[in-house]
Chains A and B, each alone.
Chain A
Amino acid sequence: MAKVSMTVNGAAASGEVEGRTLLVEFLRGPLGLTGTHVGCDTSQCGACVVHVNGEAVKACTMFAAEADGAEVRTIEGMANADGSLGVIQQAFQDHHGLQCGFCTPGMVMSAAALLKDNPKPTEAEVRKYLEGNICRCTGYHNIVKAIMAASGQDVSAIAAE
């Protein structure tokens, strides 16, 4: 066992982990941050995407020990300070960007990473960026629409499906 310390959603967090403890296990277990989901555990689905030092990574494909000293942000850190939904989260609600919601934490974290680098993406850029985020429910259309809306673009011409 080794001690790890990191900043998670702005607050200091630490604990004892094994070498093989995944970042997602550390977040969901000892830290109780169960918003980050494990969809596949085989690095394919993106439900577990969080930000480590500002970059989107799959928390099921990184060890907790590798995040020692890092800034980590999870879906729990995406709401506004007063607890209301953040811009991207609100857009997902407004545009029906989720059904069961299982993929949504990863979708929102990927969307936030995209918009940080590319504040006004085209529809094609959004679709390409979401290559590693799999949704079994929505057919993606409203997810793309929500992200376009969250970027402040007019989505009235994108028909609902």
Chain B
Amino acid sequence: MYAFEIERPSTLAEAVSALSAEGAQALGGGQTLIPTLKQRLAAPEVLVSLSGISEMKGVCPDDDGRLCIGGATTHAAVARDAAAAYPALAALASHIGDPAVRNRGTIGGSLANNDPAACYPAAALASNATIVTQNRAIDADDYFQGLFTTALEEGEIITEVKFAIPEAANYQKFLQPASRFALVGVFVAKYADGVRVAVTGASEDGVFRWSEAEAALSSDFSAGALDGLSVPAEGMIGDLHGTPEYRAHLVKVMTKRAVAAAG
């Protein structure tokens, strides 16, 4: 690792001001950033740790019935504290990585990183979550912009994520056991005004919505409604863990499983 300083502010205002300095970068749980620093793929001058900011942590419903999760809330806290209000989201959090990763890694860090195989992007996109920063609120539909790319600007941090709670939902993750990420993961969420299906792990462009499946499921919410559909292999990730054709096939299989499990 290159050398840097660490700051540990206790309020959001202090963090925002520390992040406005040249060469400053946010440190969430460090479960992605620390391995990246070890490989010298990043060279910040100052890391601003968000883990001591209590106003950025916690899970609670707002007046509009949405579930609000602080940007520095760990996966373990979401698994525990969102279980009653949004069980599919809590279940997703409880299958990220392993227990030690879940005790440090945060929802804000995961969404900011936007790894093409990460789990939270699928939940956020399928729920059309609102990504809140110190400056603005961004719809998930506008937030994800391709591999490791998001609408966040320099120094902008995720303070909160707001999820509209669906009538039924489920996340199915086909585990890549070596990395413990998703080889393919599908989040299905059924709302009064339609069904949303978000796919992670599969596309070279990162998380995406499978709109044909959304249309079919919005008129008939059953696994059978997907029988006639297929996902093209073009643009899917191909690596030693699976070919593009294999991933395309898995998208449909995991979507059917998610629909069946959501009931």
A2 and B6 contacting across the interface, CB-CB below 8 Å:
yes
- Interfacial chain B residues near A133, Cβ < 8 Å: 98
B260 touches A (CB below 8 Å): no
A82 touches B (CB below 8 Å): no
B6 and A66 contacting across the interface, CB-CB below 8 Å:
yes
* Number of residue pairs A-B, CB distance < 8 angstroms: 75
| Partner-A contacts on B (CB < 8 A) | 1-6, 8, 27, 30-31, 34-35, 37-38, 47, 49, 51, 76, 97-101, 103-104, 180
| Partner-B contacts on A (CB < 8 A) | 2, 18-20, 22, 41-43, 46, 49, 55-58, 61-63, 65-66, 68, 110, 113-114, 129, 131-133
B37 and A20 contacting across the interface, CB-CB below 8 Å:
yes
Cα–Cα distance between A6 and B51 once the two chains are bound (Å): 17
Cα–Cα distance between A54 and B99 once the two chains are bound (Å): 13
- Interfacial chain B residues near A132, Cβ < 8 Å: 97-101, 180
Q: How far is the CB of A103 from chain B (nearest CB, A)?
A: 13
Q: With A61-B30, A62-B104 in contact, is A131–B98 under 8 Å at CB?
A: yes
- Interfacial chain B residues near A55, Cβ < 8 Å: 76, 103
B101 and A65 contacting across the interface, CB-CB below 8 Å:
no
- Interfacial chain A residues near B31, Cβ < 8 Å: 43, 61
Cα–Cα distance between A131 and B177 once the two chains are bound (Å): 9
Q: How far is the CB of A101 from chain B (nearest CB, A)?
A: 20
**Could you list 17 further interchain pairs (A-B, Cβ under 8 angstroms) beyond the known A20-B1, A65-B8?**
A2-B6, A19-B4, A19-B5, A20-B2, A42-B38, A56-B99, A56-B100, A61-B34, A63-B27, A65-B6, A65-B49, A110-B99, A114-B99, A131-B97, A131-B99, A131-B180, A132-B100
- Interfacial chain A residues near B35, Cβ < 8 Å: 42-43, 61
- Interfacial chain B residues near A56, Cβ < 8 Å: 99-100, 103
B104 and A68 contacting across the interface, CB-CB below 8 Å:
no
Q: With A20-B4, A42-B35, A57-B100 in contact, is A63–B180 under 8 Å at CB?
A: no
Contact of B6 among A46, A49, A63 (CB under 8 A): A63
Cα–Cα distance between A94 and B139 once the two chains are bound (Å): 56
B104 and A57 contacting across the interface, CB-CB below 8 Å:
yes
Q: How far is the CB of B250 from chain A (nearest CB, A)?
A: 21
Cα–Cα distance between A110 and B195 once the two chains are bound (Å): 40
16 A–B contacts, CB within 8 A, in A order: A19-B3, A20-B4, A55-B76, A57-B100, A57-B103, A61-B100, A61-B104, A63-B27, A63-B34, A63-B47, A65-B6, A65-B8, A66-B27, A114-B99, A129-B99, A132-B101
- Interfacial chain B residues near A61, Cβ < 8 Å: 30-31, 34-35, 100, 104
- Interfacial chain A residues near B101, Cβ < 8 Å: 43, 58, 132
Cα–Cα distance between A65 and B4 once the two chains are bound (Å): 12
B104 and A113 contacting across the interface, CB-CB below 8 Å:
no
Q: With A42-B38, A43-B31, A66-B49 in contact, is A18–B3 under 8 Å at CB?
A: yes
Cα–Cα distance between A49 and B38 once the two chains are bound (Å): 18
Contact of A46 among B76, B98, B103 (CB under 8 A): B98
- Interfacial chain A residues near B76, Cβ < 8 Å: 55
Q: With A19-B6, A63-B6 in contact, is A43–B103 under 8 Å at CB?
A: no
Closest A-B pairs by Cβ, 8 of them? A132-B98, A19-B6, A131-B98, A20-B1, A55-B103, A65-B6, A19-B4, A19-B5
- Interfacial chain A residues near B47, Cβ < 8 Å: 19, 63
Cα–Cα distance between A19 and B1 once the two chains are bound (Å): 10
Centre residue among A2, A19, A42, A132 by max chain B CB count within 10 A: A19
Q: With A20-B1, A20-B4, A61-B30 in contact, is A46–B49 under 8 Å at CB?
A: no
Q: How far is the CB of B203 from chain A (nearest CB, A)?
A: 25
Closest to A133 in B: B98
Cα–Cα distance between A56 and B5 once the two chains are bound (Å): 25
